[in-house]
Amino acid sequence: MRPYLAVLSARFRMLLQYRAAALAGCATQLFWGLIRVMIFEGFYLSSAAPQPMSFPQVVTYIWLGQGMLLLTMFGPDAEVRAMIQAGTIAYELVRPVRLYWLWYCRAIAARFAPLLLRAVPILIVAGVFFGMRAPASRGCAALWILSTAAAVLLTSSVATLMTISLFWTISGEGMNRIAPAIIWTFSGLLIPLPLLPNWVQPAIRVLPFRGMGDTPFRVYMGHIPPEQALLAVAHQLAWTAALVLLGQWILNRGLRRLVVQGG
Amino acid sequence: MPQILVESLVKTFHLAERVPGTWGALAGLARRRHRTVTALNGISFTLREGELLGYIGPNGAGKSTTVKILSGILVPDSGRVEVLGKVPWTHRIETVAQIGVVFGQRTQLWWDLPVIESFDLLADIYRVPAALYRRNRDELVGLLDLAPLLDTPVRQLSLGQRMRCDLAATLLHSPKILYLDEPTIGLDAVGKLAVRDFIRRLNRERGVTVILTTHDMDDIEVLCERVIVIHEGGLFLDGTLKQLRGRVSSERRLIVDLARENGPINDPDAELVSRQGRRATLRFDPARVSPAGLIARIVANHEVADLFVENPPIEEIVARIYGSACAPLSRSARQ
């Protein structure tokens, strides 16, 4: 464990340095959050039909989404991309560690550091000024933290998969563009998932994406009742395990065909 | 038992290529052409513990490919490789824990971190026990004079400073084998001397086995007893520097400083190579002409201030191997 924890903490400490970026990010996300709240307010005011979520629940859901947006700011690890393009990837491979876990730890650090730097201030501001509510109960709060941790593990497994795709794509630019569109739609970061049409709900329940946003948000507000929350966390962890295994399998294939040019 | 064993190693790369120009780009959409490049074509050698091997060859000869296979990064097409009794690419983690690699053109240090933090992180990655790490680090900091650099972020180091730090970083886990891929590339004279001196001490005092690939023939001349020359993926020579010289050409140089400017010099057994003021450089074949006789004759027939015999510079020999002269020369060497 020692090498992996060391890489995780080094990377985490490094990312905590980006305070200016965090501040700017908070401002942007607060701004967008307000716009999204206004859009949904208009929607709720214009519709008399009963909705699967109340308006205050939607507001809380939106602010949680704004706070945790960076979890799903996907894309291959920029440092690994630079290493593959420059050929320093050779150094990653002469280390006596499993490359998959090394990259997975980097992905966790890359999600966890900005999560702390941005989620905390955004949630405080939104709670004090913009109508975000407290967790439904202490139990919900504890389950929310658990589910958020599972979301970090899950999103990291997807991010690692994208990093591994660099062995084939080199630039990863395409991944950078496609992935967020799909993930934001199906994780609830654009529209709260309960508001999507009924016919997509079965697919949403099976797919991994709800575990990256929707699950922790609804656990927080008790929209997923505490007795079902553990099942939802199990769904997150099962997908994490599957994606980790898939990632390791693909990585091993990538290493077999690896060409380290030049030098 | 040899520490490193390489037998009939073959590695080819498949590279996509396209015809130049717009038409070529369009054609490439429909059908890709692939070219197979043979980087290594049946290389074999063994290395005992504590040897210092100079591994030389022109650009693209397959030097780095060999190093990458030996360190488990690349998988060869065929052939047998054992490093410390293990196949590097199937036992990558066990193998790399006992070796150190420096790719001279690239740094393994974290660009934004102070040097010392890179060292700490590497010690964690290699699971070096704390006491051993402290001992190795302090010793390396002393040997390579790194104390003033430790708190500097890597991006602010000069190339020579960075290379010294990179060398130290590679040795924190006490590797038994060290692969150095062009460790003196781009360094100034002082930097080169420091690096060479360090490599020599490491090899002699710690008994670390070293494979050194380089284009700098001074590195080879100063450090290596044994050299392997590869050319177009094949083994051209495996022997001592002396054998390398003999293989290509046995010629010697006789440098004569005449007493007077532009004095004439000629001898039937030696050929004038260059002339600079009072200094004349002659070449002769010691197998055909006795050096003592030649010198006696020249001293007798000319007014000589000073003279000495030397081997042709190793650069010239290697350039001949690399160059077009390769084929006829190697044939004549075989005769």
CA of A150, closest CA in chain B: separation in Å? 26
Minimum-distance CB partner of A3 among B73, B127, B181: B127
Name the residue among A155, A157, A194 with its Cα closest to residue A69.
Answer: A155
Per-residue pLDDT for chain B (335 aa), expressed as one digit of tens each? 788 999 989 988 877 776 677 777 777 677 777 778 888 888 999 999 999 999 988 777 788 889 889 988 888 889 999 999 999 988 889 999 999 999 888 888 888 889 999 999 999 999 999 999 999 999 999 888 899 999 998 889 988 899 899 999 999 999 999 999 888 888 888 888 888 999 999 999 889 999 998 888 888 888 888 999 888 888 888 888 888 777 777 778 888 888 877 777 778 888 888 888 888 888 888 888 888 888 888 888 888 888 888 877 777 777 777 764 444 433 333 33
Q: Which residues of B touch A88 (CB under 8 A)?
A: 103, 106-108
Q: Do B125 and A87 touch (CB under 8 A)?
A: no
**Full strand arrangement of the beta sheet holding B304-310:** B271-276, B279-284, B252-258, B304-310
What is the pLDDT at residue A71? Answer: 81
CA of B184, closest CA in chain A: separation in Å? 13
Minimum-distance CB partner of B93 among A14, A96, A263: A96
Which residues 6+ apart lie within 8 Å of B57 measured at CB? Answer: B63, B213, B229, B230, B231, B236, B322
**Separation of alpha carbons B172 and A178, rounded Å:** 43
What is the pLDDT at residue B185? Answer: 84
Interface membership of A1 toward B (CB under 8 Å): no
Q: How far is CA A103 from CA A56, A79, B110, B237, in A?
A: 39, 10, 15, 42
What is the pLDDT at residue B226? Answer: 92
Interface membership of A78 toward B (CB under 8 Å): no
| ipTM summary value | 0.79
Paired residues of B240 in beta bridges: B226
What is the pLDDT at residue A260? Answer: 54
Interface membership of A260 toward B (CB under 8 Å): yes
Q: Do B125 and A94 touch (CB under 8 A)?
A: no
What is the pLDDT at residue B116? Answer: 93
**Separation of alpha carbons A182 and B104, rounded Å:** 42
B324 near B330, Cβ under 8 Å?
no
* Closest A-chain CA to B72: A94
Q: Which residues of A touch B64 (CB under 8 A)?
A: 262-263
B70 near B228, Cβ under 8 Å?
no
Name the residue among B206, B248, B203, B209 with its Cα closest to residue B222.
Answer: B203
HSE (side-chain half, CA atoms, 13 Å) at A126: 31
Q: Do B106 and A263 touch (CB under 8 A)?
A: yes
* Closest B-chain CA to A8: B121
A–B interface: beta-carbon pairs under 8 A:
75
Q: Which residues of B touch A7 (CB under 8 A)?
A: 121, 124-125
Q: Which residues of A touch B72 (CB under 8 A)?
A: 93-94
* Closest A-chain CA to B93: A96
Residues of chain A with pLDDT under 70: 170-172, 257-263
Give the number of other CB atoms < 10 A from CB of residue B251. 18
Minimum-distance CB partner of B75 among A7, A87, A256: A256
Q: Which residues of B touch A10 (CB under 8 A)?
A: 110, 113, 117, 121
Name the residue among A91, A97, A12, A104 with its Cα closest to residue B127.
Answer: A97
Q: Which residues of A touch B74 (CB under 8 A)?
A: 258-260
β-pairing, B52-56 vs B226-231, is: parallel
**Separation of alpha carbons B312 and B319, rounded Å:** 12
* Closest B-chain CA to A94: B96
Residue where the block lists tokens 């908070």: A26
**Separation of alpha carbons B215 and B185, rounded Å:** 8
Minimum-distance CB partner of A94 among B71, B105, B113: B71
Interface membership of A93 toward B (CB under 8 Å): yes
* Closest A-chain CA to B181: A263
